[in-house]
């Protein structure tokens, strides 16, 4: 009798195991984006600051990437999930950062209890911005010119535990970072969004603390509204840095733009408080053609300098989709810096023109 019961139990376990494996999936995804860009006032020194620069760029609208998604349906509304994502410079084939995997996390997802993920992943500020009031309806931001993502404090954190839950039109996230390894910065943050029909509203906060207890605090709040072919967005972001957080400022303020020719001077990275307003719209003229216009205004105070510095940015994009996977884009942007902040060649203004091809798979 005991042997018979054991056989039945083993048979059931084998059946569940086979069922779980049968419902597992591993999918490969990616984006390849290569463009050309022309930028004014891009000389390498103050004496040559008026020189222009023409270059092939590794992604005008999107950073090229190759990723792997893993899902295993374990029954009862429970899934195991995992992600690995590599970012690359599509013009040279090199990787974009020191870490090979820009995302690397594993977790559990329950239909009733939400999702828990552990590893290197997007932070709550980046999540609420891109999911709720992104700059453009068809593409969250312009990869080569994205002042807004600077306010998301690097966008990703390592050693993170993140919990996501949804109830009707509401979504909430909490994140906590252990603070370990080569960059021992502890993180704690959360976000809440509401999205129903044409309206989406959201807010997020994030705190980063170094080993000396010094803090960086970030917040963002905003909304978006869709009216037929028109999409409008409006948002506000703020970053505050304690004195002495130079390493964190270098990591989390970065530059207003990410073009290789758009690095800021030392004053640009000396931030006590930085505020940024953003507003814009996308208009879908046809099934294939989208037009977008976005503007940003920022001001910041300094720890080591008196007075405030200011910056204004505007970008216009036309995107034409040949298919669901392949599109071409044309982009124009303008930057104007004031106060102590300038580009690293002392220029205060810059015009950029980009065009490229993007393919998603």
Per-position pLDDT tens, the chain of length 361: 544 444 443 443 344 444 445 478 999 999 999 999 999 999 988 999 999 999 999 989 999 999 999 999 999 999 999 999 999 999 999 998 888 999 999 999 999 999 999 999 999 999 999 999 999 998 999 999 998 888 998 889 889 999 999 999 999 999 999 877 656 678 999 999 999 999 999 999 999 988 888 899 999 999 999 999 999 999 999 999 999 877 777 777 655 554 555 678 888 888 899 999 999 999 999 999 999 999 999 999 999 998 999 999 999 999 999 999 999 999 999 999 999 999 989 999 999 999 999 999 9
- C-alpha 3/C-alpha 49 separation (Å) is 85
Beta strands in the chain (DSSP E): 24-39, 53-57, 65-73, 78-89, 94-95, 101-110, 114-122, 156-167, 170-177, 186-196, 199-209, 215-227, 230-241, 273-284, 289-301, 308-321, 326-338, 349-360
Query: Is residue 11 in some structural domain?
Result: no
What the block records as the tokens of 188 is 């704690």
Give the residue numbers spanning the domain of 130.
Answer: 23-360
Phi, psi of 354 (to 5 degrees): -135, 150
Cβ atoms within 10 Å, residue 242: 17
SS3 303: coil
Count of domains forming the chain: 1
Is the distance from CB of 214 to CB of 245 less than 8 angstroms? yes
For residue 16, being part of any structural domain is answered with no
Tell me whether residue 15 is in a domain.
no
In a domain, 190, yes or no: yes
- The CATH number that applies at residue 37 is 2.40.160.10
* pLDDT the model gives residue 150: 84
How much is the pTM?
A: 0.89
Q: Flag whether 7 is in a domain.
A: no
Q: Residue 87 falls within a domain, yes or no?
A: yes
Positive/negative CA dihedral, 7, 12, 15, 17: negative
Residue 183 lies in a domain: yes
Query: Does residue 100 lie within any of the structural domains?
Result: yes
Position 11 scores a pLDDT of 45
């Amino acid at each position: 009798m005991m042997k018979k019961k054991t056989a039945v139990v083993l048979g059931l376990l084998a059946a569940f195991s086979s069922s779980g494996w049968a419902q597992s999936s591993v999918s490969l995804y990616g984006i390849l984006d290569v463009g050309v860009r022309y930028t004014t006032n891009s000389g390498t020194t103050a004496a040559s600051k008026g020189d222009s620069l023409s270059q092939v760029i590794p992604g005008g609208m999107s950073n090229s990437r190759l990723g792997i998604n893993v899902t295993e349906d374990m029954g009862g509304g429970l899934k195991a999930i995992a992600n690995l994502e590599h970012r690359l410079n599509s013009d040279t084939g090199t990787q974009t950062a020191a870490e090979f995997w820009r995302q690397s996390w594993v977790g559990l997802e329950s239909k009733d209890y939400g999702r828990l993920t552990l590893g290197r992943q997007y932070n709550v500020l980046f999540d609420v911005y891109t999911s709720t009031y992104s700059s453009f309806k068809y593409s969250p931001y312009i990869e080569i010119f994205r002042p807004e993502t600077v306010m998301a404090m690097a966008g990703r954190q390592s050693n993170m535990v993140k919990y996501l839950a949804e109830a009707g039109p509401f979504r909430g996230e909490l994140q906590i970072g252990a603070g370990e390894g080569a960059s021992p910065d502890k993180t704690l943050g959360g976000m809440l969004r509401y999205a129903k029909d044409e309206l989406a509203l959201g807010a997020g906060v994030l705190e980063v603390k170094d080993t000396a207890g010094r803090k960086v605090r970030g917040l963002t709040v905003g909304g978006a509204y869709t009216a037929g072919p028109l999409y409008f967005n409006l948002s506000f972001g703020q970053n505050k840095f304690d004195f002495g957080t130079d390493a964190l400022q270098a990591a989390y303020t970065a530059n207003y733009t990410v073009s290789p020719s758009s690095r800021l001077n030392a004053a640009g990275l000396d931030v006590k408080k930085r505020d940024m307003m953003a507003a814009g719209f996308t208009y879908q003229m046809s099934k294939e053609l989208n037009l977008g216009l976005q503007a940003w205004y920022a001001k910041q105070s300094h720890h080591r300098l008196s007075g405030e510095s200011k910056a204004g940015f505007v970008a216009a994009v036309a995107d034409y989709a040949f298919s669901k996977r392949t599109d071409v884009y044309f982009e124009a942007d303008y930057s104007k810096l004031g106060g102590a902040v300038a580009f690293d060649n002392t220029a205060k203004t810059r015009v950029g023109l980009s065009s490229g091809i993007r393919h998603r798979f």
